[in-house]
Amino acid sequence: MRNKKLGFTLVELLVVIIIIGLLASIVAPKFFGKLDNAKVKTAKAQIELISTALDTFHLDVGRYPTTEEGLEVLWKDNGVKNWNGKYLPKPLKNDPWGNKYFYKLPGSNGEEYDLLSFGADGELGGDGQNEDISCWE
């Protein structure tokens, strides 16, 4: 009895690994579905934050940033008269999918400006995760 080594056999280890793999295959899709929803909510929150910063810039300067100035003027002084920033606490260049936010002045459909995230696909239009998120929705 003394010479018998205690431990797991290869078969026991393989069974445990297979069970862990099966459990992960059940849990992972549910987790990644939550991750996609979190990205959409994050994009909406960031667009609201940028919109508030744009409105504050408008109050200080008397106009919204031009398309050429872009959103960078919200955190970096580019010599704009009456600039009283930083309007955003840190640079916010990309949406949760890593794409640049789209900003254009004047906006389409009679809006003052357009501010959009093009969603997961990074292109105009789409459904689900690829749906555009704008400041006017």
Cα 3 → chain centroid: 60
Instruction: For residue 100, list its beta bridge partners.
Output: 94
Query: Which structure tokens are listed for 73?
Result: 């003027």
Indicate if the pLDDT at residue 2 is higher than 70. no
Question: What band does 3 get if pLDDT is binned at 50, 70 and 90?
Answer: low
What is the distance between the terminal CA atoms of the chain, rounded to a whole angstrom? 74
> Rounded distance, CA 96 to CA 25, Å?
25
For residue 21, count other CB atoms closer than 10 A to its CB: 9
> Rounded distance, CA 135 to CA 111, Å?
10
**pLDDT tens sequence across 43-65:** 888 989 999 999 999 999 999 99
**pLDDT tens sequence across 93-134:** 788 888 999 999 888 877 889 998 988 887 787 777 777 788
pTM above 0.85, yes or no: no
Domains and CATH numbers, the chain: 13-134 (3.30.700.10)
